[in-house]
Amino acid sequence: MTSVPMPIPSRTQYVLDAIKHRILTGQLTPGQALVETELAAQFGVSKTPVREALKTLAGTGLVVMSQYKGVTVRMVDADMAREVYDVRLLLEPEALKRAVRRGASLDAARDALTRADGAGDTAERSLANREFHRALYLPCGNPLLGRMLDEVRDQAALVSAVAWASDPSWEREAGEHREILRLALDGDADGAARALHAHIASFVRRAFPEAQSEEGQAEEAQSEEAQAEEGQE
């Protein structure tokens, strides 16, 4: 029986998913060159779907296209981490709070947490972690809010992959995930949102100490002022 050639859009999606998976699981590292001819040979496709996939990945912020250096996996530094995590701190706890208040099902979050706990390798655990966070904010009742968080989801995962490569902290984060989910399932919207905010803030603070968010700087300044006032009393 003659096989039917895969149409170009399907080939592009296949290549896109494969490259993204390699980036987000650390198989392709920040700064690594992505050569069209090499990728086309690896995936058994022409350069056209590879080129289209790389353009899409550049649009999501996972790769950088340069006239002189070609295409490379995006580098992760403190500035990038701060920008991405500032957005998460502003939006993700609010989305979770709304999801809990509207009584949305969090079964998907529970399932993702179970998969993360039973993961056999870093790649599987990383993907389950992403799904856990998405399952918390997606049922917030505001599709636009969900899409906004989806837009930074891949970049946040890239930051996490770099941080975990140098300092694995799965167990600590797994415990924090369980507490966030417990509060959410108990219907404590404000408590779950606070726990999620602390979880996100503490992760980027540990991984990139120099990347403290503007919100975090303001909170620290307020804390210092309060301590100074107490000392004067």
Q: Do 125 and 116 form a contact (C-beta atoms < 8 A)?
A: yes
pLDDT tens for the 233 residues of the chain, in order: 444 455 556 889 999 999 998 888 788 988 999 999 999 999 999 999 999 999 999 988 899 998 888 999 999 888 888 899 999 999 999 999 999 999 999 999 999 999 988 877 777 788 888 899 999 999 999 999 999 999 898 888 888 877 776 666 667 888 999 999 999 999 999 999 999 999 999 888 877 776 654 545 545 444 444 444 444 44
Which 3-state string (H, E, C) describes 40-105?
Answer: HHHHCCCHHHHHHHHHHHHHHCCEEEECCCEEEECCCCHHHHHHHHHHHHHHHHHHHHHHHHCCCC
Residue from 69, 87, 8, 86 nearest 33 by CA: 69
Rounded distance between C-alpha atoms, residue 227 and residue 40, angstroms: 60
- Would the pTM count as exceeding 0.85? no
Structure tokens at 74: 């995006």
In angstroms, how far is the first alpha carbon of the chain from the final one?
87
For the chain, the maximum distance between any two Cα atoms, rounded to a whole number of angstroms, is 87
Residue 4 dihedral angles phi and psi, to the nearest 5°: -90, 125
